[in-house]
Amino acid sequence: MQALQTGGADGAFFISSSDIQSAQSAGLQIIDRGDSCNIGYLGMNQQLLDKAGKAVGGPTIYANKDVRMAVSAALNKQGYIDSLYAGQGKVAQGFMPPSTIGFKAENLPAYDVNAAKAALAAAKLTADQLKIDLYYPSNVTRPYMPDPKNEAQAVAQDLTAIGFTVTIKTIDWHAGYYNTMNTGQEALYLLGWTCDWAGADNFVVTAFFGYSGGQPAKAFAYKNDQMNTLFGQALQAPTVDAANALWGQAQDLIGADMPMVPIVNSTPAGALAAKVHGYLGASNGTEYLNVVWIQP
């Protein structure tokens, strides 16, 4: 922001959502990226793996549907958006952003502390099982997660309120955070996905729950063979309408099981000096500079 305001830089690909108002007051342009094409979520892994990909112990507590429902109802998603996203996001209503082809809004658990406590009581966890670790990435901001540390603290506070004892842990993004989570080495973590293309398959298959070699995705260890069959049928459907109906059925199955907690679809902002012209924002951040020019 300082470099933009003093002329040391002509543009910033991302700026903090809290800086939007001051950027506008300084006469900077805010990059319009249209509808969201991302999702930030809380991941819940049902079976931990070691670095070699072998199972570590038995299923985690997140293999228990009551636990997953408790966690889902415990999170004050709108509160996170209000405090950390400066309004640049909406509470996720499904497992991909609404602009995605094939999106279906699901009746996801609303923020309800009493319902969360009841679901956790039904899970009948031991005192040791109620002690959980929550991971977030350090030394990074992501379009779907502009303030990972404070978001982790907010999530931990909400989970503590329903009976968990939460230890917050972090791994440097550049030291392998994404790979650690994606290969199933941690049980509870903050992460997200920005679309490569705005289709249902890029989210629920590529990023999240698609099987590989006949096995569930390692990041969640969520086994649902009916869902996986629907994925295959949707990918081979002869028309968009037929595909979307199948994607909708698959999303209904996922929504009933809540293998992860969708939190937010954000609209990340960038800023440009007034002399920058021709810049076209894209919801997934794939933006081209060969059509941009500077004219003071």
CATH number, position 113: 3.10.105.10
**The predicted structure's pLDDT at residue 221:** 98
Claim to verify: residue 42 and residue 135 sit in the same structural domain: yes
Position 170 pLDDT exceeds 80: yes
| Cβ-based neighbour number of residue 89 at 10 Å | 26
Claim to verify: residue 50 and residue 133 sit in the same structural domain: yes
Domain that holds residue 8: 1-33+269-296
**The predicted structure's pLDDT at residue 87:** 80
Region 145-160: what's the mean pLDDT? 97
**The predicted structure's pLDDT at residue 86:** 82
Claim to verify: residue 18 and residue 126 sit in the same structural domain: no
Claim to verify: residue 289 and residue 173 sit in the same structural domain: no
Claim to verify: residue 146 and residue 29 sit in the same structural domain: no
Q: Is the pTM of this model over 0.85?
A: yes
Claim to verify: residue 200 and residue 294 sit in the same structural domain: no
Claim to verify: residue 116 and residue 154 sit in the same structural domain: yes
Claim to verify: residue 145 and residue 216 sit in the same structural domain: yes
Per-residue confidence band for 137, with pLDDT thresholds at 50, 70 and 90: very high
Claim to verify: residue 70 and residue 156 sit in the same structural domain: yes
Side-chain-side CA neighbours of 231 within 13 Å: the count stands at 22
Q: DSSP for 163-228?
A: T-EEEEEEEEGGGTHHHHHHTT--SEEEEEEE-SSSBHIIIIIIIII--BTTB--TTT----HHHH
- Mean per-residue pLDDT of the chain: 96
Distance CA 144, CA 110 (A): 20
Claim to verify: residue 67 and residue 101 sit in the same structural domain: yes
Q: What is the CA radius of gyration of the chain?
A: 20
Claim to verify: residue 101 and residue 205 sit in the same structural domain: yes
Using a pLDDT cut of 70, give the percent of the chain over it.
100
Claim to verify: residue 145 and residue 233 sit in the same structural domain: yes
Distance CA 18, CA 121 (A): 38
User: Which 3 state secondary structure label does DSSP give 292?
Assistant: coil
Distance CA 42, CA 261 (A): 5
**The predicted structure's pLDDT at residue 239:** 98
Tokens of 232: 């295959």
Q: How many domains does the chain have?
A: 2
